[in-house]
Amino acid sequence: MFKDSLSYSYTDTSEEHQKMDRALQREINLAKNIQTSLLNGKTPSFEGCEVAGSSLPARLIGGDYYDFYPLVNGKIRIVIGDVMGKGIPAAMLMILTRGAFRSAAESTQNPGETLTSMNQALYEDLRTLKSFVTLFCADWDPKTGILTYANAGHNLPLIIKGKNNTVEELPKVKGIMVGGLPNQVYKEGSVHLEELDTIFFYTDGIVEAQNKKGEQYKLDRLIQTLLHNKDKGVGEIEQSVMDSVNQFTEGVPLKDDITMVILKVSKRKADITSLNSPVIR
């Protein structure tokens, strides 16, 4: 524990040190509970689609982030991100990122504008802290089946085609990480999703997880896991990926946070208007 003459007396006893350590541990646990509550909040539920998200920090608390924001036009805005760094500093920046997303999602029309707004809001703070955030933001329209998205330096989500048994990355759109440069304009791409198609958003903690030999899990193994479980519900797919990573790593501690969001188009047709937005349950 660092101490100086302004903060602590050099006559501190061991008991006083233990009290400070216990107080610090309580605060860290409180920070973990706050972060867990924010990440494991309510998820949207609506006809025509299943969606789920989860995050596993490499340390007690982490810097990965995902969120859902139901829009009044019946769409849902999804974001996933990875803050540079780990532990408490990254977790603090994650909370800052969440606030910027919620504010931007409420006031912007599309994913590109959302990332542009977030970069404007966070740039100065991130530069001061010499950090950055990678983000991928997407709007899903269950009425048209179109997923519109923008990217800020994040790895591209995977699309699992339910009818032809293939997995591929979404078409690329360029965009620099949030905090990288000021005054950025983020371009958008779009894809049409069919029944039983699944979009798998993820952070690189999955593909970079290592086993006892120092080998990485890698993208190919993730693709095979997704193909093998593509007919399952989003919760089962999520658990299958985690089981696969755990089996591969054989108990080796994670070096990076693992976060994923899964969106799967169901067989039912959605009938959503601006007066019938996704419901948070």
- Tell me the pLDDT tens digit for each residue of 132-174: 999 999 999 999 999 999 999 999 999 999 888 899 999 999 9
Cα 80 from chain centroid (whole Å): 3
Domain 44-266: give its CATH architecture. 4-Layer Sandwich (3.60)
Highest-scoring range by mean pLDDT, 4-13, 74-83, 89-98, 271-280: 74-83
Phi first, then psi, for residue 185 (nearest 5°) are -115, 120
**β-bridge mates for residue 168, sequence order:** 159
Report pLDDT for 31. Answer: 60
What strand order describes the sheet that includes 198-202? 49-56, 258-265, 198-202, 158-161, 166-169
List, as one string, the DSSP characters of 139-175.
EEETTTTEEEEEEEBPPPPEEEETTTTEEEEPPP---
Q: Roughly what angle, to the nearest 10 degrees, separates helices 111-128 and 87-107?
A: 140
Given a contact cutoff of 8 angstroms between Cβ atoms, the answer to whether 257 and 86 are in contact is: yes
Three-class SS of residue 198? strand
Beta-sheet strands, E only, within 21-145: 44-45, 49-56, 64-70, 76-83, 133-141
Q: Which residue has the tokens 């009818």?
A: 163
Q: Greater confidence, 193 or 277?
A: 193
Q: Is 130 left (phi over 0), alpha (psi -120 to 50) or beta?
A: left
pLDDT mean over 118-130: 93
Q: Is 220 left (phi over 0), alpha (psi -120 to 50) or beta?
A: alpha
Percent of the chain with pLDDT over 90: 61
Report pLDDT for 279. Answer: 38
What is the DSSP secondary structure assignment for residue 276, as one 8-state letter? S
**β-bridge mates for residue 111, sequence order:** none
- The amino acid present at 72, given as its one-letter code, is V
Percent of the chain with pLDDT over 70: 81
Per-chain mean pLDDT for the chain = 85
